[in-house]
């Protein structure tokens, strides 16, 4: 009995630790309070955001606002398509960064696109709290769909 309680506590700690890492990574890659003067180039370089092969990431989207505001989207009843996907009720300020050079360039160079879009966030429910899983931005400028 003691061993199973210990295992349960150890596993729940591991899950929370993994969740904390995901949240920290999400904040680093997708949350900014304001757009710095150097825009995407400075943000992506200073935060060391790369693709899985350690090359320049082809695109990255930053939400301009607080993590708390983004997290509240997960607690609203406006899920779409899947019970874990939640759409923002209003359009959100975002900065979309698209690679303008090559993936091996150093430093990476990006085109800045500031816009307002609704976002969809996939959240996992762990210990009765919704935690961020991944994010989708609805409708980029080249899309004909309306958000």
Tell me the whole-structure pTM to 2 decimals.
Answer: 0.74
* Cα–Cα distance list, 25 to 31, 74, 81, 85, 136 (Å): 10, 17, 25, 19, 16
From the list 77, 69, 90, the residue with the least C-alpha distance to 132 is 69
pLDDT at position 100, please? 96
Q: Where are the domains of the chain?
A: 26-137
Give percent of the chain with pLDDT exceeding 70.
69
23, containing H or E segment = helix 2-30
Q: What is the pLDDT of residues 60-117, one digit of tens each?
A: 999 999 988 888 887 777 767 777 778 888 999 999 999 998 878 888 999 999 999 8
What's the confidence (pLDDT) of residue 7? 38
Q: What is the CATH number of domain 26-137?
A: 3.10.130.10
Q: What pLDDT does residue 80 have?
A: 73
């Amino acid at each position: 009995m003691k061993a199973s309680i210990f295992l349960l506590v150890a596993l729940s700690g591991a899950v929370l630790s993994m969740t904390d890492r995901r949240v920290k990574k999400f904040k680093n890659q997708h949350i900014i309070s304001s757009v710095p003067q150097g825009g995407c180039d400075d943000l992506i370089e200073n935060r060391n955001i790369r693709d899985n092969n350690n090359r320049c990431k082809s695109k990255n989207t930053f939400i301009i606002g607080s993590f708390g505001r983004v997290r509240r989207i997960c607690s609203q009843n406006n899920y779409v398509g899947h019970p874990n996907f939640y759409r923002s009720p209003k359009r959100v300020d975002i900065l979309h960064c698209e690679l303008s050079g090559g993936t091996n360039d150093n430093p990476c160079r990006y085109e800045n696109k500031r816009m307002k879009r609704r976002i969809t966030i996939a959240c996992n429910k762990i210990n009765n709290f919704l935690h961020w899983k991944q994010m989708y931005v609805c409708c980029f400028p080249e899309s004909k769909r309306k958000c």
